[in-house]
Amino acid sequence: MDALVVGTIIKIVLVLLIVSALAGFGTYIERKVLAFMQRRLGPAHVGPFGLLQIAADGIKLFTKEDIIPQHANKFIFSLAPVITAATAFIALSAVPLFPTFVIPESLPLIGGAIVPSIIADVNIGVLFVLGMMAAGLYGPLLAGMAQANKWGILGSARTAVQFLSYEVVTGLSVLAPIMVVGSLSLLDFNNAQTGGVGSWLIWQQPIAFILFLIAGFAETNRTPFDLLEHEAEIISGYVTEYSGLRWGMFFIGEYANMFTISILAAVIFCGGYGDIGFVPGWLALLLKVTFFFFLMLWVRASWPHIRPDQLMWLCWKVLMPLAVINIVITGIVVMI
């Protein structure tokens, strides 16, 4: 077989395995970080530093009874978590993760395979990733509407409102960097910023960066914008009736989306996997993604929720006008 095809298959398997494992690890990190910020310990009893809590949670999710409510639309009810998880992973397929890597010839079977930095280098990478993440909206939306539960309906209504609104801000905020780079491919974004920290797009587009982060928080359903399943108001929103592995799939999807947004922020604005001085590119990307992931937990520990009307106000009266102004200014500067 072609060396690139083998490498791509290896990459697909690696991304699937590592990201779904990271989703579990992400919950552990989240609980630990939140605990430390609230002067607690977090999971501490299962295994060293509570690390086996991930395994314990996994076993619990697998063995839990799978309940489908009597009046739910069973087909859509079981389809919805698959949509969330699948779209999250499909979005990852067009995101460059690490520099291209050749497996040494000495290894049997897969020796010489070229592992590409990106699984599918579609030349409209940004559009594809954002489109897939937007399609992920159908997960919570259908889940909430299929479960015959008023909290679910409220959750799915909020899903539609929040995701559709913030899709606009994400798109508009990414538009300005696209105009600067002149390409939709994420590889081109990465290659445009290889000249060290000074060449990062964040210095040229600080407003777009902040807008993208805010919208990213809203699209991954993170605090302060986690209105989809805000316990204090709507029990658990769209996941009210879910249990066991179906519920787990929503969270694997959510954490995969968090990683996607973190990687996107790193690739589009912060130099991707370009080397920083003596730090090799793969480590640099890992550090950046870790920082953005930590930022999501940090913000969750620090800031309170906002109301749905404040959410809409923020989106349509503050963020969208700012994004449009940013695009106009960028356009004028690029033209000159």
Stretch touching another protein by CB under 8 A, among 32-40, 47-55, 109-117, 166-174: 32-40
Query: Does the protein bind another protein through residue 63 (CB under 8 A)?
Result: no
Q: How far is the CB of 26 from another protein (least distance, A)?
A: 17
By CB under 8 A, name the one of 13, 17, 36, 67 that touches another protein.
36
Q: Which residue, 228 or 319, is less far from another protein as judged by CB?
A: 319
Cα–Cα distance between 324 and 328 in angstroms, integer? Answer: 6
> Which parts of 289-308 interact with another protein (CB under 8 A)?
298-299, 301-303
For residue 39, the minimal CB distance to another protein (Å) is 4
Scanning 37-45, 61-69, 144-152, 231-239 for contacts with another protein by CB under 8 A, the matching segment is: 37-45
Q: Does 207 bind another protein (CB under 8 A)?
A: no
CB 67 within 8 A of CB 241: yes
User: Is residue 49 near another protein by the rule CB under 8 A?
Assistant: no
Per DSSP, 270 falls in state S
Contacts 24+ apart (CB under 8 A), 289-297: 289/259, 289/262, 289/263, 292/213, 292/261, 292/262, 292/265, 292/266, 293/26, 293/29, 293/258, 293/259, 293/262, 294/33, 295/213, 296/217, 296/220, 296/222, 296/258, 296/262, 297/29, 297/30, 297/33, 297/34
The Cα angle at residue 129 between residues 323 and 271, in degrees rounded to 5: 70
Biggest CA–CA distance in the chain, Å, is 64
CB of 40 to another protein, least distance (A): 5
Q: How far is CA 269 from CA 72, 221, 287, in A?
A: 43, 21, 14
Window contacting another protein (CB under 8 A); options: 36-44, 49-57, 66-74, 276-284 = 36-44
Q: How far is the CB of 111 from another protein (least distance, A)?
A: 44
Residue with tokens 């709507």: 234
As a whole number of Å, the CA-based R_g of the chain is 21
Check residue 46 for interaction with another protein (CB under 8 A). Answer: no
Structure tokens at 281: 């590119």
| Identity of the residue numbered 261 | I
Size of the site for another protein (CB under 8 A): 14
CA-to-CA separations, 111 to 16, 42, 47, 107, in angstroms, rounded: 21, 43, 37, 5
Kindly tell me which residue out of 17, 18, 21, 40 binds another protein, with binding defined by CB under 8 A.
Answer: 40
38 is a site residue for another protein (CB under 8 A):
yes
Write down the least CB distance from residue 44 to another protein, Å. Answer: 8
Ranges of beta strands (E only) in the chain are 101-102, 114-115
Compute the least distance from the CB of residue 279 to another protein, in Å: 23
| Intra-chain end-to-end CA distance of the chain, in Å | 49
Using CB under 8 A as the criterion, what x/- string covers residues 104-133 for binding another protein?
Answer: ------------------------------
Residue 62 in contact with another protein, rule: CB under 8 A:
no
Shortest distance in whole angstroms from residue 38 CB to another protein? 7
Q: How far is the CB of 299 from another protein (least distance, A)?
A: 7
Q: Which of 4, 5, 21, 37 binds another protein (CB under 8 A)?
A: 37
Q: Nearer Cβ to another protein, position 124 or 295?
A: 295
- Bond into 224 cis (ω within 30): yes
The contact set with another protein (CB under 8 A) reads 33, 36-41, 44, 298-299, 301-303, 318
